[in-house]
């Protein structure tokens, strides 16, 4: 770019963070101080990039214009936090970065609701990365957009910069997304099934399932980190508002209420957490299951389970019972009713209201149906039986138990193998009836 006083070429967004994907956009901002010939000058940068076929997201603004836009647009604000001068008047570029960060620090507490709303909207539209067979690595809850929010909160000095397990989770998603671009030969953020096996090999995982489980764990870690950060900041903000203006000191704050919701678990500030003194390794539960229907009409189910208490069941006896159930010699309904009678009544322990959510753009060859409900004996059996009665076929699934709650994602098609359109109301009613109150 021709040298012009007060004109800088600034990398923002992914380029500023040094996280550009092989087929991702290159985010560039030309910042100037009102020079009349600035646009003709920066076009000498844009045109070679366009000619090279590079996807360019570019803009030309004064520093005041950039800061004002960041005040109105959260995405612009987050992009400017990573501003990095790469050409021209680097002092002008560094000045923009300093102004953007200072403006963000001043307004961060008031813009916290924007950050939280954005996270909720992404979760509603793209689902939760931890529970999807084909997760969107960037947009899903627990994905890379959430890590950008965490870094932004750290810039505002409201939380620490992500480190440890959260930083490891972010690096894994970046590595997987990079390999996904290279394998697909185009910009692609959804980890589609046909790319999972080769990417697993590229990144040193034994199987695609192990890769997907690692991605799921990363999504859980990131989603938990962002949710916890927002709750902590929100709580601290409430405390600031309770400050005694006359005494200019903090008023005493009562400890947050902790409500028991089950054995060894409590609800605190809208989150289910372990009770004090509980060892999470002493009473593990079934945590994850995956099922895949192959093109040969053979169902392959993989369950990662741990005992609720005591020792694991006898493997030979379990295998024999499964064979009897599959052959129709063992009544699963009767066995489940007998097991349920042997468990104590846990009504009133506090479980989430049952919900069935549909996602049309979360998979390439099916409709995603997410079922959230309180856990109970035989729940998965009742839900899948309701799906069968409603004419749904399960192509893939991810089933997770989180304390007293379950989050089950089913990739379903209609009887002829198409996305589900006209059966939703009937299926949803049947599923919620099967879940029970």
Q: What is the pLDDT of residues 254-304, one digit of tens each?
A: 555 666 544 455 556 555 555 666 555 554 444 455 554 544 444 556 666
Output the pTM of the full model: 0.64
Looking at 3.40.50.11900, 3.30.70.100, 3.30.70.260, 3.90.1150.10, the CATH number of the domain 288-435 comes to: 3.30.70.260
Examine the pLDDT at 208 and tell me if it is beyond 80. yes
Give residue-wise pLDDT tens across range 115-145: 999 999 998 889 889 888 899 999 999 999 9
| Strand pairing class (26-32; 56-62) | parallel
Residues 4-35: tens digit of each pLDDT: 677 899 999 999 999 999 999 999 999 998 88
Q: What is the mean pLDDT of residues 385-390?
A: 91
Q: Where are the domains of the chain?
A: 8-107, 112-242, 288-435
**31-53 b/e (C-beta count within 10 Å ≥ 16 → b):** bbbeeeebeebbeebbeeeeeee
Whole-number pLDDT of residue 38: 83
Which has the closest alpha carbon to 380: 408, 415, 345, 342?
A: 408
Region of residue 277 (left: phi > 0; alpha: psi -120 to 50; beta: else): left
Q: First vs last Cα of the chain: how many Å apart?
A: 66
User: 8-107 in CATH: which number?
Assistant: 3.30.460
Mean pLDDT taken over the chain = 81
Q: For residue 201, give Cα distances in angstroms to 4, 23, 93, 122, 179.
A: 49, 21, 41, 30, 11
More confident residue, 237 or 99: 99
Q: How far apart are CA 267 and CA 265, in angstroms?
A: 7
Query: Which of the following CATH numbers is that of domain 112-242: 1.10.20, 2.60.120, 1.20.120, 3.40.395?
Result: 1.20.120
Secondary structure of residue 111 in the 3-state scheme: coil
CB atoms within 10 A of CB 308: 11
C-alpha 377/C-alpha 380 separation (Å) is 8
């Amino acid at each position: 770019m021709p040298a012009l006083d007060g004109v800088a070429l600034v990398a923002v967004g992914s380029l500023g963070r040094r996280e550009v994907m092989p087929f991702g956009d290159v985010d560039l901002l030309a910042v100037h101080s009102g020079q009349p010939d600035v646009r003709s000058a920066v076009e000498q940068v844009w045109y070679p990039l366009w000619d090279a076929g590079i996807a360019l997201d570019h803009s030309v603004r004064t520093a005041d214009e950039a800061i004002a836009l960041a005040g109105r647009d959260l995405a612009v604000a987050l992009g400017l936090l990573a501003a990095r001068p790469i050409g021209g008047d680097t002092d002008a570029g560094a000045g923009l970065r300093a102004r953007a960060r200072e403006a963000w620090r001043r307004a961060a507490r008031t813009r916290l609701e924007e950050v939280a709303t954005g996270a909720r909207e992404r979760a509603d539209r793209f689902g939760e990365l931890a529970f999807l067979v084909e997760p969107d690595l960037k947009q899903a809850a627990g994905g890379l957009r959430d890590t950008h929010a965490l870094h932004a909160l750290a810039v505002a000095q409201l939380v620490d910069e992500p480190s440890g397990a959260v930083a490891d989770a972010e690096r894994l998603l970046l590595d997987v997304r990079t390999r996904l671009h290279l394998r697909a030969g185009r910009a692609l953020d959804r980890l589609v099934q046909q790319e999972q096996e080769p990417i697993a090999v590229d990144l040193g995982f034994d199987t695609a399932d192990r890769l997907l489980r690692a991605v799921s764990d990363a999504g859980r870690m990131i989603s938990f980190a962002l949710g916890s950060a927002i709750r902590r900041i929100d709580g601290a903000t409430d405390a600031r508002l309770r400050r005694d203006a006359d005494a200019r000191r903090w008023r005493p704050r009562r400890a947050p209420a902790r409500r028991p919701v089950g054995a060894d678990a409590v609800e605190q500030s809208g989150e289910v957490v372990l009770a004090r003194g509980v060892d999470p390794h002493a009473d593990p539960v079934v945590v994850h299951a995956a099922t895949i229907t192959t093109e040969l009409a053979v169902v392959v189910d993989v369950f990662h389970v741990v005992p609720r208490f005591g020792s694991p069941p006898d493997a030979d006896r379990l295998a024999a019972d499964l064979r009897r159930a599959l052959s129709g010699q063992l009544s699963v309904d009767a066995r489940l009713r007998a097991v349920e009678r042997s468990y104590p009544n846990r009504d009133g322990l506090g479980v989430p209201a049952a919900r069935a959510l549909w996602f049309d753009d979360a998979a390439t060859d099916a409709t995603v149906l997410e079922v959230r409900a309180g856990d109970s004996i035989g729940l998965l059996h009742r839900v899948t039986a309701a799906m069968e009665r409603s004419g749904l076929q399960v192509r893939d699934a991810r089933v997770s138990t989180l304390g007293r709650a379950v989050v089950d994602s089913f990739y379903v098609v209609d009887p002829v193998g198409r996305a589900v359109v006209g059966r939703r109301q009937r299926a949803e009613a049947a599923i919620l009836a099967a879940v029970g109150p």
